[in-house]
Chain A
Amino acid sequence: MNNSALIDLEIKFLLEGVYQVYGYDFKNYSEASLRRRLLHWLSSSDFDTLSQAQSQLLRDRDLFETLLQGITVTVSEMFRDASFFKAIREQVVPYLKTYPFVKIWHAGCATGEEAYSMAILLLEEGMQGRFRIYATDINEAVIRSAQEGIYPLKDLQNFTRNYQRSGGSGSFSDYYTARYDYAILSPSLRENIVFAAHNLTADAAFGEMNLILCRNVMIYFKTALKDQVLELFDSSLVAGGFLCVGTKESLDNRKISGRYEELTPRAQIYRKRYA
């Protein structure tokens, strides 16, 4: 057996062990990215091989947490894909405004950039007091970071540009305070967001959502897990509700696709049909 095949075998054993001991199921994650992340973690550890690391990983929760960080942390931007947020503002918000109150689930919110973006957008559209965003992620450490709403100042130029291109109607600098090398988002934005840990592969549905965003999360999942998670979203979404996936994702060939219509070509916003 060559080294590459051995590594694949070690990964398989490790993922099974992690599932049995900690309940995190990475067995249906796409291999290529997971393999890169695991080997990156390994190279920064004191272990030579994953099988050597496994013994300790399965016994030492703190060590496992470092691995979990390594394989689940994702990065995002405020108003990432400006055209998507523009489409939300122009084509989805008019529907949302017809409800007295809307619930939004942002699944896989990472460090919160897009959840805060959505809050800004809805406030600018006059929905103050009429919405709540449930922002969840598998990774409890990034949830804590998301709650703080503090981002490196160097990223703000890009965030501001995205905001402007997304049709932002205010001045982006009104939403944060710069301090040293960081920008602290206005605490009032957080009042509209509930951050919580949630594992898409294992935890239950959220009820009666009007809008679910899960962008660039399912690209890490194999087909069966994609379908499983989409069923979870489908059961969490009201009829006429909206499901948003990443720019390069689609519901084509997915089991739930017949229950949805595409709202805007290329923006990857789908609407759940009535019955």
Chain B
Amino acid sequence: MLSNNTHTFEAVVIGVSTGGVSALKIILGELSAEFPLPVMIVSHISPDSDDGLALLLNNHSALRVKEADEQEELAAGTAYLSPANYHLMIEQNRTLSLSVDPPVNYARPSVDVLFETAADVFGPTLIGIVLTGAGSDGSQGLLKIKNCGGLTIVQDPADAEMDSMPLSALQLLKADYVEPLNKIASLLTILAG
């Protein structure tokens, strides 16, 4: 465990697929309205989905949860969900952007796309989290976050509804924390505080 992280964190990115709704309900539900960092989330959803997931999570969280808009500026205490059928990215000026670039890892939105662009912008001040899901999206992105000096968290595969995304990430890198879902919000609160 690397508990010697002394720098201040500036942002959190989360990637999740199968089992995402209940996983995000738990984590976002436990974060307080005072959580000081913006949270960007890629959740694999059907291309036809509307903003229903954001509305649902908004009702479950003290944070403001919304679908990301293009060129939106990041705000503390807000969680941004990738819209269906768009990649979500972070620009150097710390605004959100969207693209219809081809799917990555068969996914649009892709976790790797968010993680890699966020690592370019935030470097060591980024926290990356891979949660439950099928496939391997997020692994390369989490490795990049680690290589840029950011902090990495992976949901304990034994605790995950689908363990392949966490397992794939752990095969590629040694995460700073491997935790069950119900420990992640309190960990984030400590790291961000």
Contacts and interface: CB of A to CB of B under 8 A. Distances in A.
Contacts of A36: 89, 101, 113, 116-117
B69 interface: yes
B70 A219 contact: yes
A32 B91 contact: yes
Given A223-B71, A248-B69, A30 B91 contact: yes
Interface of A is mostly: helix
Given A219-B100, A223-B71, A248 B117 contact: no
Interface centre among A35, A216, A247, A248 (most CB of B within 10 A): A248
B9 interface: no
A4 interface: yes
B97 A32 contact: yes
A128 interface: no
Interface string B64-102: 000001110000000000010011011110000111111
Contacts of B92: 8, 31-32
Contacts of B69: 248, 250
A32 B117 contact: yes
Contact of A75 (B97, B98, B102, B116): B102
Interface string B39-53: 000000000100000
Contact of B120 (A4, A247, A249): A4
Interface residues of B, number: 23
A76 B70 contact: no
Contacts of A75: 100-102
Contacts of A35: 117, 120
A228 interface: no
A35 B69 CA distance: 20
A32 B120 CA distance: 9
B20 interface: no
Contact of A4 (B86, B97, B123): B123
Interface string A14-36: 00000000000000001111011
Contacts of B97: 30, 32-33, 219
A192 to B, nearest CB: 25
A220 B101 CA distance: 10
18 contacts: A4-B148, A32-B90, A32-B92, A32-B97, A33-B97, A33-B101, A35-B117, A35-B120, A36-B89, A36-B101, A37-B101, A74-B101, A75-B101, A75-B102, A82-B48, A219-B70, A219-B100, A248-B83
Chain A to chain B: the 8 pairs with minimum beta-carbon distance, closest first: A32-B89, A32-B117, A33-B99, A216-B100, A30-B97, A219-B98, A32-B91, A75-B102
